């Protein structure tokens, strides 16, 4: 989403400046054009040359910089987004008072682009009523904030907010701010992800190879597009995407109950999980020793969550299923699309290299009700998630 975007990153003088280097690098690598504007204090922590090397563009540090007359006005009004990281207590106070006494505050005074501030300071400074008043004033004027977080500060650990958010968190909030006008903005999206586990006994389970990566990338991307996202996750080792409400479940029955509870208010359901298709007919109360010899287990089918929750769907909501097959994937997927009364189904083949479980990539075909077909070539799962959400937004916009 950052390709062809113009982002101005303002950097004020705090120890968190080193994180801003990572932020600028990530934006540049993602395809954005990045201009950096630094205060005099920021240049004491990180030299302008560092940001010039990371962005590939000249860095503004002064209103009196030769060859840059009125550049602060152009940068205030032309970019897609302004991000200030770190935003120190001193900077927040000056901006709240409407001062324009250096290159960065003057730029912010003339801004017309959406603006995201990432506060960073000592925890006592952040808690000070003056700082809180300044934050309230700036929020009422339409500026957005990310963080600060609790954690280690330059002077030691703290359990109170003050630490600047990490670059990846700032990027997620920046993306969400840019996506305020998309079809998903303000919509309620429910995503399921990962496997489920059906217990054989207190120790052993029946499960599958799903890592949950596809569902987590979908939840992450939907939140960045402005949606309110609930992620219903089976057991995985993945970190919860920022901003997403997560409900953790173990069995297919638990996942069904969570979907059933969330579905009446959902504008979109994306069933990216791989629930176990079978469970033991009975769950042994104790572990059976291997010394007892062969073990025979009678399996029974679990509930089909999409079919079981059909009556609870919100009228007009977009229903998206997944079909992981081994051979004849598209015909099987098309049959599931019709049988489960879905709007879309995402089909892939578990036997195709790089497109099954436990990998970071996928290749899918999106089949739509009414005959639509959209092929997504092998790509990182985040890019595949974006392609799927493009089709969801197209259906929401109809």
Active site residues: 208
What is the DSSP secondary structure assignment for residue 277, as one 8-state letter? S
Q: Residue 224: enclosing H or E segment and its boundaries?
A: helix 213-224
Nearest-angstrom CA–CA distance, 105 and 97: 10
Contacts 24+ apart (CB under 8 A), 167-172: 167/19, 167/20, 167/22, 167/23, 167/26, 168/26, 168/242, 169/242, 170/23, 170/83, 170/85, 170/116, 170/118, 170/146, 171/23, 171/26, 171/27, 172/220, 172/223, 172/224, 172/241, 172/242, 172/243
Question: Angle 213-224/167-178 helices, nearest 10 degrees?
Answer: 60
Nearest-angstrom CA–CA distance, 285 and 75: 67
Strand order in the sheet with 361-368: 245-248, 228-233, 188-193, 268-271, 318-325, 344-349, 361-368, 373-380
C-alpha to C-alpha distances, 48 to 16, 38, 39, nearest whole angstrom? 15, 8, 10
Closest CA to 346 of 297, 392, 286: 392
CB 23 within 8 A of CB 170: yes
Nearest-angstrom CA–CA distance, 160 and 162: 7
Token output for 385? 């998630």
Bridge partner residues of 175 (DSSP): none
CA atoms within 13 A on the CB side of 55: 24
Nearest-angstrom CA–CA distance, 318 and 375: 19
């Amino acid at each position: 989403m950052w390709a062809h975007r113009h982002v101005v990153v303002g950097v004020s003088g705090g120890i968190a400046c080193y994180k801003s280097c990572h932020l600028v690098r990530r934006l540049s690598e993602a395809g954005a054009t990045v201009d950096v504007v630094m205060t005099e204090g920021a240049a004491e922590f990180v030299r302008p040359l560092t940001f010039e090397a990371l962005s590939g563009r000249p860095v503004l540090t002064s209103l009196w910089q030769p060859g840059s007359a009125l550049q602060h006005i152009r940068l205030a009004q032309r970019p897609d987004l302004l991000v200030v990281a770190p935003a120190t207590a001193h900077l927040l106070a000056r901006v709240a008072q409407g001062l324009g006494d250096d290159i960065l505050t003057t730029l912010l005074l003339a801004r017309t682009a959406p603006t995201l501030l990432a506060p960073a300071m000592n925890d006592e400074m952040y808690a000070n009523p003056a700082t809180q008043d300044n934050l309230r004033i700036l929020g009422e004027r339409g500026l957005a904030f990310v963080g600060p977080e609790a954690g280690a500060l330059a002077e030691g650990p703290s359990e109170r907010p003050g630490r600047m958010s990490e670059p990846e968190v700032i990027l997620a909030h920046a993306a969400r701010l840019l996506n305020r006008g998309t079809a998903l903005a303000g919509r309620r999206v429910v995503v399921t992800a990962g496997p489920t586990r059906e217990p054989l006994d207190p120790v052993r389970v029946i499960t599958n190879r799903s890592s949950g990566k596809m569902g987590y990338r979908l939840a992450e991307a939907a939140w960045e597009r402005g949606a309110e996202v609930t992620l219903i996750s089976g057991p995985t080792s993945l970190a919860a995407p920022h901003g997403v409400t997560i409900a953790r479940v173990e069995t297919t029955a638990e996942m069904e109950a969570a979907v059933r509870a969330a579905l009446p208010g959902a504008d979109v359901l994306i069933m990216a999980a791989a629930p176990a298709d079978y469970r033991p007919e009975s769950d042994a109360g104790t572990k059976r020793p291997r010394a007892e010899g062969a073990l025979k287990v009678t399996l029974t089918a679990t509930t089909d969550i999409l079919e079981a929750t059909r009556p609870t769907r919100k009228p007009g909501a977009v229903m998206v299923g997944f079909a992981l097959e081994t051979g004849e994937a598209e015909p099987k997927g098309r049959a599931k699309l019709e049988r489960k009364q879905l709007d879309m189904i995402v089909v892939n083949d578990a036997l195709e290299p790089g497109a099954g479980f436990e990998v970071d990539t996928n290749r899918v075909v999106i089949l739509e009700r009414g005959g639509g077909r959209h092929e997504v070539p092998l790509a990182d799962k985040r890019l595949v998630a974006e392609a799927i959400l493009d089709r969801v937004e197209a259906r929401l916009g109809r």
